[in-house]
Structure 1
Amino acid sequence: MGWDAEFRCGACGDGGCLGFGGEDAPDWVRGPLLERYGPVLVRLVGPGVDRGAVLRVVRAAWPVTLPQAAGLLRQLAGDGLAGTPAEAAWLCGRLAERGVAAEAVPGQDVAGAGRPWGLPG
């Protein structure tokens, strides 16, 4: 997953690139997305989820320790992990590749959509 930000001036027609990257989007990119579209919660679906597969996905997605990954697993199995709509779709896709069913549902708390999704910066 990547991000980019561009601008165009309606008055003069000029434009340019504000930035881009292949890592997590910075707060100045994520914040407006969360404000405009709201957070989406990713939750695991069904009983008997392969916890090992979820941990592998989480550890491949972010540079987290095993205890941090276990915390994210608990969030996914509970109320859900909040992110932007694109982040939620990406994570659901990664989980599906490992045979783990997950759903993305609209959330309400923008403050709960930290980066990377609930871990301290």
Structure 2
Amino acid sequence: MMRPPDSVAPTVLTYNTVINACARATEVPWDTLIGLFGQMRHDLVTRNTLLAACGSRGLGDEADMVFRTMNAAGVLPDIVTHAYLVETFGKLRRLSRVSDLLREMEEEGNAPELACYNVLMEAHARIGLP
């Protein structure tokens, strides 16, 4: 009979799943999510998972911090990265930040998905701007 291993090393998928689950549990503090993040390899998927957590919690400053550290580490953002940022700042009604992100995406050659523009239009409609 085979004996199971004493421990199994976590993978990137393991950490992403844990971060995602903790992000959904609003009673888990942001510092705990950052602590988990600090224990793992920081790839694009992991950073996008953390950005999704920022969006679901309405944490704009934290999203900016994750994005800045991502760029400083040389991890190139993708369309998913920008979509999470656009969604976060759209929810927070920081429309100038959304516009800046869309412009940045276009300049980098990452054509924003239609959903990103919809976020901007919906945010303008919610607060009554043209």
Pair in the same fold by TM > 0.5: no
- TM-score scaled to structure 1, two decimals? 0.26
More contact order relative to length (CA 8 Å, sep ≥ 6): 1
Between structures 1 and 2, the one with greater strand share: 1
Question: TM-score scaled by structure 2?
Answer: 0.25
Which structure would you say has the larger Rg? 2
